[in-house]
Amino acid sequence: MLLSLIKAAAAALSFPAMTGRSTFLGGQLLFFQPNKNPFTSTLPATAISIVAKVTTRRENRTARHERIRKKDFDTDFDTVNGTSERPRMCIYRSNKHLYVQVIDDSKMHTLASASTMQKPISEEHDYSSGPTLEVAKKVGEVIAKACLEKGIAKVAFDRGGYPYHGRIEALANAAREHGLEF
């Protein structure tokens, strides 16, 4: 049964002879025994089906964020850690909202936060299809004002694994324009 399925699929896709090779067939990686041609041999070839590992964009972003956060501060200066003198400004971006928190990692404490779900921002802007650059600028302005009210002037910018582009860049530039240093 399996041999006839492989023959039919290989004939339909016009694969070359698969002796001792592996091939990608229908979302699965198939490995065949060496020196056993499934088309000419009377013995059935043993096929092992292995599903290819596919990572999503969310998994890739999470891996980037974890990689940056886990670096040792004493040896690598690429790390992003929040301290009492310089807390970490962390950004999370979803399809509908933007969230920003200023975190002191040494105390595991959130010092300030802003998001598009807060009433002053959500009532001022109508963004039915998700936050735009203007909304990101407004969130950057609100987080900068909240930090300056609490005496926080310097932060470590944590882009959360997202590319520094678009809404993330607009939020960072607006926070810089309103007095935050990073």
Domain that includes residue 8, residue range: 2-51
Distances from the Cα of 41 to the Cαs of 6, 14, 19, 80, in angstroms? 14, 19, 10, 60
* 16, part of any domain: yes
Domain total in the chain: 2
The predicted-structure confidence for 63-88, as pLDDT tens digits, reads as follows 888 887 776 555 545 567 788 889 99
* 67, part of any domain: no
**Same domain for 125 and 38:** no
Mean of pLDDT values over 117-144:
88
**Same domain for 30 and 119:** no
State residue 16's pLDDT score. 45
Q: What percent of the chain has pLDDT over 90?
A: 40
Q: CA 30, CA 48: separation in Å to the nearest integer?
A: 6
CATH of the domain at 153: 3.30.420.100
**Same domain for 92 and 30:** no
**Same domain for 85 and 45:** no
**Do residues 40 and 75 touch, judged by C-beta distance below 8 A?**
no
* 60, part of any domain: no
**Same domain for 129 and 93:** yes
**109 CB-near residues (< 8 Å, 6+ apart):** 103
Checking if the pLDDT of 145 tops 50, the result is yes
* 37, part of any domain: yes
Q: CA 82, CA 104: separation in Å to the nearest integer?
A: 5
Q: What percent of the chain has pLDDT over 70?
A: 66
* 11, part of any domain: yes
**Same domain for 171 and 94:** yes
* 21, part of any domain: yes
State residue 83's pLDDT score. 84
CA 98 distance to own-chain centroid: 15
State residue 14's pLDDT score. 47
Instruction: Please report which confidence band the pLDDT of residue 141 belongs to, taking 50, 70 and 90 as the band edges.
Output: very high
* The residue type at 12: A
> How many residues make up the chain in this entry?
182
Average pLDDT of the residues of the chain: 78
State residue 72's pLDDT score. 55
**Same domain for 93 and 6:** no
**Planar angle of CA 108, 113, 117, nearest 5 degrees:** 135
Identify which of 6-10, 15-19, 162-166 has the greatest average pLDDT. 162-166
CA atoms within 13 A on the CB side of 82: 20
The predicted-structure confidence for 18-68, as pLDDT tens digits, reads as follows 444 444 444 444 444 454 555 555 555 556 666 667 888 889 988 888 887
**Same domain for 150 and 85:** yes
* 62, part of any domain: no
Q: CA 67, CA 161: separation in Å to the nearest integer?
A: 9
* 66, part of any domain: no
State residue 15's pLDDT score. 44
